[in-house]
Copies of this chain bind each other. A is one copy, B any other.
């Protein structure tokens, strides 16, 4: 299996992407194609021992940053590590791609270059949301601002297949993010989506509320991209503000510092529970070939885990499964 890594994507690239690629080769026995300026990548690779026949560099001299406008960057920066990688995917040089770079650009590039699955109207950005019971898949996490009920239905279907095939959840429970658990709740979009989901070939368990997101009682959480983006950023902001308050409390005086020391092991466990790095990446769902987005601040461990997820994404042939499900649904 050959996996393409956007070598320059992410806050810690290329250190994270190069080290993550090598660790993935060693752990999973796969081949990696890493994109980026040959000189920079080669220099980074020189730090490590690795099976040379399993890693190749695809030269790409430009970089898309987070400040770039996604659609413009994809069109103009043809020699960026991301666009070169997406073209390699389209041309069949590799079977899937992972990037920790600009999310919007990955989405735009996925749509323009890799194209959508036939029968899927929109692609969704997903997020593996850390809950008290492991990760749930939240989608759409920000790709589509004004959605139609049909889009959300397709997201539910794709998310459901992904959680079953890649994350190993049997018959995953799907919930619709809403303002109340009763069937009739919500805005127009939520009400119409509820009706569609009820009649879909998924394990739809009904509406869930904001407070249910961290509980992990459902495996797939569906909402439109506006709500999803606000929910995910609120989660990040709130967790980080609570932890910064905790840190302040722990450093108040000698007594609290000793207390904090005694709690150190448990606190790192707790932080791990809420850590995106364990999951490594979240799929973009709706493109014709597997695309995985890793968190912008991914380190090599997160990249390696993301590559592992992408490997399962490819092996389980999730996209074929989505296509088959679409045919069944339409019949």
Interface residues of A, Cβ cutoff 8 Å to B = 132, 142, 145-146, 177-179, 186-188, 190, 209-215, 223-227, 229-242, 244-246, 249-250, 252, 255-256, 258-263, 266-267, 269-270, 273-274
Contacts and interface: CB of A to CB of B under 8 A. Distances in A.
A280 to B, nearest CB: 22
Contact of A190 (B212, B226, B231, B273): B226
A63 B246 CA distance: 41
Nearest to A234: B210
Contacts of A188: 145-146
Q: Is the interface of A mostly helix, strand, loop or mixed?
A: helix
A274 to B, nearest CB: 8
B234 A234 contact: yes
Contacts of A230: 177-179, 209-210, 223, 227, 230-231
Given A227-B230, A242-B242, 9 more contacts: A146-B187, A179-B230, A186-B226, A210-B235, A210-B236, A214-B234, A242-B274, A249-B267, A259-B260
B267 A263 contact: no
Nearest to A266: B249
Contact of A263 (B210, B229, B259): B259
Contact of A238 (B233, B239, B269): B239
B259 A233 contact: no
A238 B263 contact: no
Nearest to A225: B179
Nearest to A144: B187
